[in-house]
Structure 1
Amino acid sequence: MKLWQSLTGIAALIFCGTSLAFTVQLWVSMPADLGGQLVAGATAVALELCKFSFAPLGLWLCSQGQKNGYALLCLWPLLVVISIVATVGFLATHSEEQQQRSARNSQEYRALQQQLNSLQQQINTLNGLINIDANNGYRQRALNTAAQLSTLETERTQLIEKLSTIGQTANTHSAFNSLANTLNADPARLQHIGFLALAIITDIVGLVALLAFNAAATVGKRVSQPFQQPETAEQQPEHTSNLSKEQQLLAQRICAGEFGNRPVLRNISNSITGGYRTVKPVFDALQQAGALTRNGQGFALVQR
């Protein structure tokens, strides 16, 4: 295997593994219970595996003349879109959680949180004093304390609003903030576009690399197994001896399984010089020789 083939295979595994991890983590994060997480994770893995396999499997089935290959090719773009949406969702959720943690660890947030805790303690103390005064008949003093309590509760409400504002600001501004300032764009919109582009690159490039690696491996296998030399006239079966040299070579390729176990006359005619007039006599000769048989609307190689 050549170096570029190995590098393409490694890249395909990395991209596909990354896409699989993003999708599974997003699906697992939605259910709250362990059973639901297991089911969601298994479903995500199945969807990703179908996304990886439907394109090459569909192309192979179509080359064999199987119509259900077209169904796989039609479903494949839908699975790719689902995977891209899942990747964007995971990146957005993970980024938001990380930004919230950063905001809560900031000095401003901690200072406001300490003030809020201090106010809460004062409020609890005043509530206790009001109950004591009310129970002992000091009604006026209880009313004065209640006025102080109202002021502290107003300050507490203002602090809670500031804390929530810090969290919202952190969710809006992200690592794309500097780029947004340069482009004079909305940071949240720019971040969403960046996540979408990253998801498309991860899924599409991974799938293309996987298909390229598979095609390169198939071609390499064919090169390492060259076709047998044409038989002599004495060795040729009676049914194929009247074919031209090119037709006899094509007959050997069909029997060797190069076009699959269900060779399609129309597909081979489109790829062979001479088209239908060259390929049809080969199919007829192989049928007479017993190497090829009718299978519904198509043909199938006879296993020996």
Structure 2
Amino acid sequence: MYKVLLVEDEKMIRKGLAYNFDWIGCECTIVGEAGNGEEGVEMIRSLNPDIVVTDVGMPIKNGIQMLEETMEAYGYEAIILSVYDEFHYAKAAMHLGVAEYLIKPLEYEQLKKALEKAKAQCRMKQHFSDAETKTREALERDVFDFKIVLPEQSYSPRTRVMVTYIRDNYQKKISINDLIEPLQTSATYLNQLFKKETGFPFNDFLNRYRIQMAIQKLKEDDCKIYNVAVECGFKEYKYFINVFKKYTGILPSAFVAYYQKKRRFIMDEMTEKKKRESSQEISCGAARWLRISWKAVTWREEKG
């Protein structure tokens, strides 16, 4: 059920909306009612609604002011109710990205359609939020364990050869069959040995290493996902996408978007820090100049 907050200063209209409209049939439930924009702000903060249905012209704080103060921070969808002589608010409402702007007297069929639109936008936001969460979780849990792809002293000589072969030739089309003759044993035995000592079948280990290398390349500026796929041994782009998602839980494009966003954030933080430091230096310099100037003036007065 989608949580809906009603914000309307005319009690009769507000109660009529709350009790005469089929909210349950629209997969919605009224979680609160507010009589003005100020109350609306408080209830948005405390109830965190999915959808806010609000009047525009209200005392203390109007609907537009309430939306400007809370909409971006709390990420809800808004449906505005207005009358013809308040239509000059429409431009501001559209700028805020409200789901719908309805004119009073309200027809319930219009409200039903507006709710469907608002719910669709809620679902879209949730989809993007889930994708971003998956990206962040994948990065935070560090699924790309570098230790699994490095030869360990505990490995047998044959397994070390196989791991080294993967590391040195992952860009090419390789298989465990390439090692049958050099290691003088069967592919079945090699794969059993490899899985026993590394925990992964040969091909699984190979793909993990390729994805690990792809991750490093995708962090670079101006990287092209298709080129990265080829450089990491994936000749078919679609297969690379599927393998990448299998091991990371996200698409390569989502990974790139996350790192670009993260890089911009870091750069912005560094820029702001430099600005603050520069401002402090200027302030300190000005203060030193004032102290020196004052000393000079005092010295001249004393001298005189």
| Band of TM-score, shorter chain | under 0.3
Larger radius of gyration: 1
TM-score computed with the length of structure 1 as normaliser: 0.27
TM-score computed with the length of structure 2 as normaliser: 0.27
More helix, by proportion: 1
